[in-house]
Structure 1
Amino acid sequence: MNDLPCRLAMIVLTFVAAVSEAQAQEASSVPPVVTSQPMDSAGPPAPVKKESKFHRNFFDETDGKLDFSNFMAKGGFFPMPVIITEPAVDGGFGIVAQFITIPKDNPKRVTRRMLGAVKTGNGSYGYGYFQSGSAFGDRVSYKFGVGRGKVTLKAYPEILPSGLEYTNKYDYGALASVRLHLADPRFSLGPLFDFRKLHSRIDLDIEDLPERFSDFERKLQTGALGFGVHFDNRDNAMTPTQGYNIYAEAKFNDSAFGSDRNFQIYDVHGYGFHKFSPDWRLGAKVELDAIRGRYPVYFASSINLRGIEARRYQGETAVSTEVELTRQISPRWALLGFAGLGFTDAGGARIFDDSGAKIAGGAGFRYRIARKLGLDAGIDVAYGPSGAVFYLQFGHAWAFNLD
């Protein structure tokens, strides 16, 4: 998806879905907590203080460190707070109520139902419902979500380089995908669905805007059908250390599907992860996002890198590349450095300027918050064209765009 506004309410839900994917992968392998009883050679076993339920849920039985593995692997109801650090919306906070069903006979056939809401510092908000699961003996997987909300952002068109603040209020946004897994389960393909209704307005009184900017101050309905092809052999859904996730998707907004505008969105993303040794690993990504046709201005593609404000550099085509080197300094702690390069092409419509090369980079740390699930959490500090930005990370920094 190219437009941040419609995803605001959904992003916390899809993120938690990825967490529960890790839960499903490990649910059948979480061992019970074993409490050893020291023996006195001169008598019966010494009494052992019974661990509290809280301690069993939130501390690891092997090293005694803070760890959420046992709590997360239980399934059932799982509330999750979400902290938003994106400067484009002045940060914010969210909460997700997650309900997980994990069959005992097939722990990987997990069904997730999530209800969540977010509120940001610039008055944006969103709430929605997300569900995912599988059918036909795991040959088919599905995801769908619905949400409402209001998002205030800035666009930077060619004629207003200082920025144009606008607000999109969504009556609804509905997204869905269905994927058939082939004989080789690493490959999958299937249709995509994307329907929205919104009202957009400019937050300043500006006269004599070009006709292309009539996208603002009006209601808009979009309807798109599309198709995606995916490859995924990562070793972990949330904090991968080995493998690849590559996919290509195309969506076609057309009047035949109820859209007021005819335009097309194309995304080709590739992510790779490689271990050089138990202590060193490398990650790399390439994202190509493009939009064509009579697209609304605020749907334009944009650079997506740590250190660059969301939606700051837009165009008809955007390329974002990043590499990340991680050093594991202990079983729990890791340090990492990253650097990225992105650019946009304004295209024939000339709504935006070509961005030129935009470089950003930084460093961060990770703590293995769920050892049995291979799940990390931490903080990144990145520096880009507009200065320093920090991010709270739960799972990999690219987790939002991974399958």
Structure 2
Amino acid sequence: MKKKNLFNRKSIWKTRLIIVVFLLSYTGMTSQTSETTTSKPKNMRFKDSLDGAIDLSNFLIYANGFLVVPAIISEPALGGFGGALAPIFLKKRAPVIDEDGKKRFINPDITGGFGMYTVNDSWMAGAFRSATLVKPKILYRVGAAYGNVNLSFYANNLPTGGDQEFKLNFRTSVFYTQWLKQFKNAKWSAGPQYLFLNSKINLPDLNLPPPFVKPGDINSTVSQLGGALQFDGRDNIFTPDKGIRIQSDFFWSDKGIGSDYNSWRINLSAIGYYPITDKLIGGLRIEGEQALGSPPFYLKPGINLRGIPTARYMGNTSIVNEVEFRWDLYRRWSLMGFGGLASAFDDWDKAFAKPVVYSYGTGFRYLIARKFKLRMGVDVAKGNEDWAYYIVFGSNWMR
């Protein structure tokens, strides 16, 4: 793997919203504990009572309200290797009976923190909380973090005919919150969200600064107010076997709400799973993002696709399509295959003027927690430039 490829995967916004990924992950994990027995087993061995295989289900369920979750970071944008530690505090909530007489299970309150460090000297620390306002049926999430992150961005289509890499350092403070009101059909929810970023960018020691960096980007504040509407009918948040999830959301940035930028960001995503046979699960993902106005360069839409450096291809619009197949080969082991096409461009009349980006790859999964249908594994992907690997927790499409 080329060294430069280790520094330019994924966009800066994904790095800064890593706190949201942690938050969503543990919300999904604990929301299913109501389907299992609540009596603590006599032993806490890491083996399943059904097949005797290594399994973490009981450890995750009976952690007495506290667990420390270690993780390996394989994100190439952060150097390709690193570690993270997340202490999580859980508070169980009793189910309630709604006015229509139906029982409604309540997700546990989740409060925690995390710290991460990678081999390219990127680090981040933060805290988060996810909980439920039971009576009004509101799910809320809130988190904050500070990080010192090293990433590469590229100037494309230079007069010389090539691209130039610029390694930038970001010192960033981030705050995010989302409040979703569940409808009568709990699969539907909607509500407001807010994102705050304060960033200081250290430029490389060059005679000429990167052409895409404006003077106002060096020390800037982004304040974005938005909303989200989603339908989630997947049978599992981690490694679904069937169901779809559709989400539409937007962010509005304006000087009137404390931002240095006037812009809009609109996102639409659809992820679906279908069991082709008892052992073969097919998946389809379609995502699009549109930026309007004058957003900072690091918040422009990019290509989020395995094997593709997202910050390498950016524009005012991005379109991503990806298919995936999971073959449950033997007992808890599964074989993966996937491929995708994507494009990022500035103007719709030149939507596919640039070559369409592609990627493909394979990997494996192991059912690490049967009671949660949680699988983990490794993916290896080949893009149109280079190879990359990913350690996958649940699903690469986990949202």
Please give the range of the TM-score, normalised by the shorter of the 2 chains: 0.7 to 0.9
| Code of the aligned partner of 1:191 | P
User: Counterpart in 2 of 1:301?
Assistant: 301
Verify the 8 A CA contact 2:155 2:210 in the aligned structure 1: no
User: Counterpart in 1 of 2:180?
Assistant: 179
User: Matched residues in 2 for 1:204 and 1:354: separation?
Assistant: 33
Q: 1:209 to 1:112 in 2, by over 3 A?
A: closer
Which digits, 9 at most, give the CA deviation of each residue in 1:20-66, with x for residues without a partner?
423321344147688xxxxxxxxxxxxxxxx7x442xx111111110
Verify the 8 A CA contact 2:217 2:296 in the aligned structure 1: no
* Residue pairs, 1:65-214, within 5 angstroms: 65-75=53-63, 76-91=65-80, 92-105=82-95, 108-137=106-135, 139-158=137-156, 159=158, 161-170=163-172, 172-207=173-208, 210=211, 213-214=213-214
Higher mean C-alpha displacement, 324-333 vs 280-289? 324-333
TM-score normalised per structure 2: 0.88
Verify the 8 A CA contact 2:40 2:62 in the aligned structure 1: no
Q: What is the CA-CA distance between 1:141 and the residue it aligns to?
A: 0.6
Identity of aligned residues (%): 27
Q: What is the CA-CA distance between 1:16 and the residue it aligns to?
A: 5.5
Which digits, 9 at most, give the CA deviation of each residue in 1:243-268, with x for residues without a partner?
01111111001011100111111111
User: Counterpart in 2 of 1:383?
Assistant: 382
User: Matched residues in 2 for 1:86 and 1:110: separation?
Assistant: 29
| Code of the aligned partner of 1:370 | A
User: Counterpart in 1 of 2:30?
Assistant: 23
Gap runs ≥5 in structure 2 = 1-9, 97-104
Q: What is the CA-CA distance between 1:105 and the residue it aligns to?
A: 4.1
| Code of the aligned partner of 1:384 | G
Q: 1:138 to 1:18 in 2, by over 3 A?
A: farther
Structure ID, larger Rg: 1
Verify the 8 A CA contact 1:247 1:268 in the aligned structure 2: yes
User: Matched residues in 1 for 2:323 and 2:215: separation?
Assistant: 36
Which digits, 9 at most, give the CA deviation of each residue in 1:189-214, with x for residues without a partner?
1111011211112123132755x522
Q: What is the CA-CA distance between 1:372 and the residue it aligns to?
A: 0.8
TM-score normalised per structure 1: 0.87
Q: What is the CA-CA distance between 1:136 and the residue it aligns to?
A: 3.4
Which digits, 9 at most, give the CA deviation of each residue in 1:178-198, with x for residues without a partner?
111111111111111011211
Give 2:15's match in structure 1, choosing from 8, 23, 27. Answer: 8
User: Counterpart in 2 of 1:245?
Assistant: 245
Q: What is the CA-CA distance between 1:121 and the residue it aligns to?
A: 1.6
Verify the 8 A CA contact 2:303 2:320 in the aligned structure 1: yes
Verify the 8 A CA contact 1:113 1:130 in the aligned structure 2: yes
Verify the 8 A CA contact 1:13 1:129 in the aligned structure 2: no
User: Matched residues in 2 for 1:209 and 1:8: separation?
Assistant: 21
3-state DSSP of counterpart to 1:65: coil
Which digits, 9 at most, give the CA deviation of each residue in 1:89-143, with x for residues without a partner?
2122111111111124465331111200111221111111111111133621111
| Code of the aligned partner of 2:70 | P
Give 1:62's match in structure 2, choosing from 50, 53, 56. Answer: 50
Q: How many residues align?
A: 375
Cα RMSD, aligned residues only = 2.4
User: Matched residues in 1 for 2:23 and 2:259: separation?
Assistant: 30
Verify the 8 A CA contact 1:109 1:138 in the aligned structure 2: no
User: Counterpart in 2 of 1:40?
Assistant: none
Higher mean C-alpha displacement, 317-326 vs 82-91? 82-91
